[in-house]
Amino acid sequence: MAQKELQFKLFRYNEGDEAPRYETYPVTVDENTTVLIALMHIRRDQDPSLMLRHSCHHASCGTCAMVINGQEQLACVVRAMELGTETVLVEPLRNIPVVSDLVVDMVNFYGRLNPADRPYIRQSEFLAESATPDGIELYTRFENCIECGACVSACPIMGTDENYYGPAALAAAWRVVEEPRGRDPQDALDWVDNEKGCWRCHVAYECTEVCPTGVDPGGKIMSLRGELTRQKFRNLFDFGRR
């Protein structure tokens, strides 16, 4: 298998440092080497102080989202050679506080996401192709959003307005409307119907662009707006009739 030496230019920062710095490490990669594996090799062979988050290694947990050559991506599924650059620039997510190196603090992210009271389990779309089986009323599965923070990092509003709920939370709110699973979807609609919610979005669709699991937060924000607009028209006509 073809091998090649690439330079990995990494954002470095420790608590107490005056300013972040960049350090470059050479790593020999092959066609299968992901950016995550290259970073783990740097930690193992060159600099054990390098900090990064990772867990599942297959785009299911969301911990290894980082900014690779300027674009939010999951390091575990980006093959370094396919980037096509001699130097691979790796930085932490934007709009989320940096703990150290490539590690960001997800506390604020979940603080924004949790009020959406998002469903964790959804009905499986595979249902359409199979009859309802005996004993299993409905197949269920986990939601698509892996809470990686890529959308929040890419969103141009998040950096300028700390009150904005952001694309991950708004997409979660739409999931409640789409598939309430016992909840009252009106709560979610009321929660987003303000200048911190779905009306703050500038429709840049950067979130949808970077989402690694096809959640399409931008589209979901537009769905929220559409539903709220329909409700307002309905209320207007009901008023006119009285």
Partner 1 sequence: METFHALIVGGGGTGAAVAHDLALRGLKVTLLERHEVTAGTTGRHHGLLHSGARYAVNDQESAIECIEENMTLRRIAPGSFEENDGLFVAINDEDVEYSHAFLEGCAECGIPTQRLTREQALRLEPNLNPDTILAVRIPDATMDAMRLPLRFFATAKQNGATIRPFHEVIGVVKQGNTVTGVRAIDHARGKEYEIGADIIINAAGPWSGQIADMAGVEVPIRPSPGVMVALQGRLCNMVINRMTRSGDGDIIVPQRNLSVIGTSSWVVEDPDALGLPEDHIQLMYDEGAKMIPLVNETPFRAAWSAARPLIGPRQADADSGRALSRTFKCFDHSDEGVEGFVTITGGKATTLRGMAEAAADVVVGKLGIDAPCRTKEVVLLPFEAYYA
Summarize as ranges the residues that interact with partner 1 (CB under 8 A). Answer: 1, 14-16, 32, 34, 37, 40, 44, 48-49, 51-61, 63, 76-77, 99-100, 103, 106-107, 109-110, 113-114, 120-121, 124-126, 129-131, 133, 136, 139-144, 146, 213-214
Least distance (Å) between residue 229 CB and partner 1: 30
State the sign of the Cα–Cα–Cα–Cα dihedral 11, 16, 19, 24.
negative
Of 105 and 190, CB closest to partner 1: 105
Least distance (Å) between residue 174 CB and partner 1: 17
Of 53 and 175, CB closest to partner 1: 53
Of 68 and 146, CB closest to partner 1: 146
Structure tokens at 163: 């009150």
Of 84 and 133, CB closest to partner 1: 133
Strands (E), the chain: 3-12, 21-30, 65-68, 71-74, 87-91, 98-100, 103-104, 121-123, 140-142
Enumerate residues 6+ apart whose C-beta is below 8 A from 88.
Answer: 6, 7, 8, 9, 35, 38, 68, 69, 80
Tokens 């790796």 correspond to 90
Least distance (Å) between residue 122 CB and partner 1: 9
Least distance (Å) between residue 121 CB and partner 1: 7
HSE of 127, CA atoms in CB hemisphere, 13 A:
11
